[in-house]
Structure 1
Amino acid sequence: MSIAKGTILVTGANGGLGVAIANQIASEPELAGFHGVYVVRDAAAPALRPILATTSHSHEIVSMELTNLDSVRQAAGTINTRIASGGIPPIQALILNAGFQDFGKQVWTEDGFDVTFSANYLGQFLLTLLLLKSMNKDSGRIVLVGSEVHDPYDKRNEEGQVYTDDRYKTIVHDQAGFEAIARGTWSSAQEDPSWRSGSRRYGAAKLFSIMMNDDGYDAPRVVVIRVLVFKIIYPVVAYLWPDGQVRSTQKSASQVLRAAFDPSLGEFPKGLYFFDTKLLETSAESKDQQKRKMIWKESIRYAHVKEGETILNDWQ
């Protein structure tokens, strides 16, 4: 495929899927010509460096803590300044891959947000708004790495019994419910010490990420990719069932990059949701326009977005 060169920015680049994405970018000639900005919590962490050490692929590793909004602003500001000055090209693909699950060991940020909410949603929500000014305005794409747990009615969640309790069948009802999820009192580890409590909060964060793409606002183009929640079992299960629901990180990385660059998805793809090459529907709740508007406004408030920080119109 023909690709115009620019910058590819990947969050969560030090994790299993992030490393696989970086490896494919660095090793495939059509992608290696892009400048890679690989965002990690700690740039000194070792997982990513061996992959990039022997490549001619232009890249940099950037430290950013998604659960710290000041850190997000600082990193985004540096990237925006470098792109505005011509130091690096505009962002062709913004791949929001970073993810966190607490598996029942719940933790909070310094400003009182549940880390699952902050790492999987709020930090990347703010990062997206801040970086929009640096996107390729003609053909840039934003790819979210999602999960089936955003939908309590998805049958793939039945085996784990994550949503068997009727009180979790609807994730968010109103502003108070959104606040409870943000602060970690909804599906807390205290009320359910099993891994399922964290999985539900992870699903809520993924739901909000999908709802971020609201046609009611001048929102960015978004392509959403679904990946498996429990990445820890990838190697064994993927070997046994290579074409099943569980996929290797290499296969997942290929699908993420396809979403970012495949021209067959159309000139301006927006609001698409894939598993492999199959186009799927997001949950019914994700399409609730009133909830979308409420979540947008509350997210703007939580992230303390100020005038001039984003190029979106009608964002307040």
Structure 2
Amino acid sequence: MAANQSPPAGGTILVTGANGGLGSSVASQVVAGKVFDGTYHGLFLVRDAAKAAALNAILASATRRGGNNTVVSVDLSSLASVRAGAAQIKQLVDAGKIPPLRAMVLAAGYREVSKQTFTEDGFDATFQNNYLGEFLLVLLLLGSMDREKGRVVIVSGMNHDTEDPRNEIEGAFKDPKYKTLFHSAESLAKGTFCSFTDDPSPMSGQRRYGAAHLCEVMFMVELHTRLTSQPSALSNIKVVSYDPGAMPTQITRDDPSFMTRVVAMQFILPLLAPVLTWLWPNGYLRSKAKAARDTLFAAGVSAGGFGGAYGDGQGGVNLNGSLVWPVSKEAKDEAKRAELWRESVKWCGIKEGDTVLENWQ
């Protein structure tokens, strides 16, 4: 912020994946939306700021006045990069250069269906990009949050729940042996669950993607429980998971089907999404604009989209668009959540002093 400029009164909105489909739409509303004019400081996390074409175009064309934006390069596939980015953000907040985090919107998404890759840290790329990197980021930055109004929004999806009838469209969980996603934290982290070697069809990637989303919802439930289970200075921070529905984005860029990757995502769905959103606001297919509005609604910083019923701002809930939606049976399993948390702490190398969360172990 300029020396003569007051900090935005609403605080900072952090958005991961700010160069992606949903993330860039959220960023656009934060920096250019009339309702946010000068209210919030935008803090946008991307893999490489120099190559974030979509975000840079949004920032270049923004008409907003009264508040600056900050872009930080954070590669969620690298735990070292997450730690470095979190340290930079913490330093900015501690020095008063940006306001405390009013909301963390974890909008980054990563999906592989034509291959399976692994990170330099040794984890399945889908698992680390969608879940583990953001688990570490949140724990490191809890101390930088607004402790009265702070909100963490974990973007997940319908495929975290194999029993959700909306998943029948793709059929990844039709076979009864795939109704359970979490057999062990190790199998998800190391990519042995539905590995591409065992099943080279696109469905194996869809199942790993669903399993990563399950981990995100389990993280939401567990973090909410830990924040509220004992008197804490952090107990007012709310945590929710959020399903934006299917949107026309580049998430299918490695899909082997030309019809899916190009024809559907680049031509058909962009035309259908606004119409279907108007008819069924929280239906299977939604526009990116509606999803972005609902994301910020979930973050407690806007009035949200239309057709919703979530308005009391409670934490520990899963949202389907602007509706409260049940979490899966697996996400309710306390033993599985405890295992995932315990192993995630170990994999991320979290130690005393890394996080202000009291019961982090």
Same structural fold, with TM-score higher than 0.5 when normalized by the shorter chain: yes
Counterpart residue number, 1:254: 293
Note closer, same or farther for the CA distance 1:292–1:35 as it changes in structure 2 (3 Å cut).
Answer: same
Q: Does 1:180 align with 2:225?
A: no
Q: Which residue among 8, 16, 32 is the counterpart of 2:13? A: 8
2:98 corresponding residue in structure 1: 88
Please, which runs of 5 or more residues in structure 1 have no aligned partner?
Answer: none
Matched, 1:44 2:50: yes
- Rounded Cα–Cα distance in structure 1 between residues aligned with 2:102 and 2:274: 33
2:41 to 16, 35, 38: 35
**Rounded Cα–Cα distance in structure 2 between residues aligned with 1:49 and 1:18:** 13
Q: In the alignment, is residue 281 of structure 1 matched against residue 316 of structure 2?
A: no
Whether the aligned pair in 2 keeps the contact of 1:211 and 1:287 (CA below 8 Å) is yes
| Deviation per residue, 1:244-272 (Å, 9 max, x gap) | 420111111011011112587335x2112
- Runs of 5+ unmatched residues, structure 2: 1-7, 229-236, 250-264, 304-309
**Contact 2:166–2:284, Cα closer than 8 Å, also in 1:** no
**Does residue 266 of structure 1 match 2:312?**
yes
* Residue pair 1:104, 1:196 contacting (<8 A) in 2 also: no
8 Å contact from structure 1 (residues 148, 154) kept in 2: yes
Aligned counterparts of 1:313 and 1:239: Cα–Cα separation in 2: 45
- Is 1:65 the counterpart of 2:75? The answer is yes
Task: Please identify, of 164-173 and 131-140, the stretch whose mean Cα deviation from structure 2 is larger.
Answer: 164-173
| CA distance in structure 2 between the aligned counterparts of 1:102 and 1:236, rounded to whole angstroms | 25
- Offset of 1:144 from its aligned partner? 1.1
**Secondary structure of the equivalent of 1:44?**
helix
Aligned to 2:5: none
Question: 1:125 is paired with a residue of what secondary structure?
Answer: helix
Q: Which amino acid aligns with 1:266?
A: D
Displacement of 1:99 in angstroms is: 0.6
Partners of 2:247 and 2:286 within 8 A in 1: no
CA distance in 1, matches of 2:140, 2:197: 35
Read off the aligned partner of 2:241 and give its amino acid letter: V
Moved more, 78-87 or 234-243: 234-243
CA distance in 2 between counterparts of 1:196 and 1:236 reads: 26
Q: Of residues 319, 332, 340 in structure 2, which corresponds to 1:295?
A: 340
After TM superposition, the structure 1 stretch with the greater mean CA deviation from structure 2, 163-172 or 224-233, is 224-233
Q: Deviations over 1:194-239 (max 9, x none)?
A: 2211111111111111111315523752121102356443414314
1:158 aligns with 2:158: no
Aligned to 1:245: 284
- Rate the CA distance shift 1:98–1:143 in 2: closer, same or farther, 3 A: same
Q: Do structure 1's residue 200 and structure 2's residue 238 form an aligned pair?
A: no
In structure 2, distance between residues paired with 1:221 and 1:212: 13
The Cα shift of 1:147 comes to: 0.4
How big is the shift at 1:4? 4.8
Task: Report the secondary structure of 2:104's partner residue.
Answer: strand
Between stretches 50-59 and 110-119, larger displacement belongs to 50-59
CA distance in 1, matches of 2:244, 2:115: 22
| More RCO (CA 8 Å, sep 6+) | 1
In structure 1, give the amino acid aligned to 2:272.
V
Deviation at 1:240, TM superposition (A): 5.0
Equivalent pairs, count: 310
Would the aligned equivalents of 1:162 and 1:200 in 2 still touch at CA under 8 Å?
yes
Whole-angstrom CA distance in 2 between matches of 1:183 and 1:169: 20
1:111 to 105, 110, 121: 121
Of residues 52-61 and 160-169 in structure 1, the stretch that sits farther from structure 2 once superposed is: 52-61
The 1-side partners of 2:121 and 2:86 are apart by 20
In 1, the alpha carbon distance for the partners of 2:172 and 2:293 equals 29
Per-residue CA deviation, residues 17-63 of structure 1 (Å, 9 max, x unaligned), is 11111111112243232111110001012111111113334102111
- Report the Cα offset of residue 165 of structure 1: 2.1
One-letter code of the match for 2:293?
A: S
What percentage of residue pairs aligned between the two structures are identical?
Answer: 42
Which residue of 218, 221, 232 corresponds with 2:227?
218
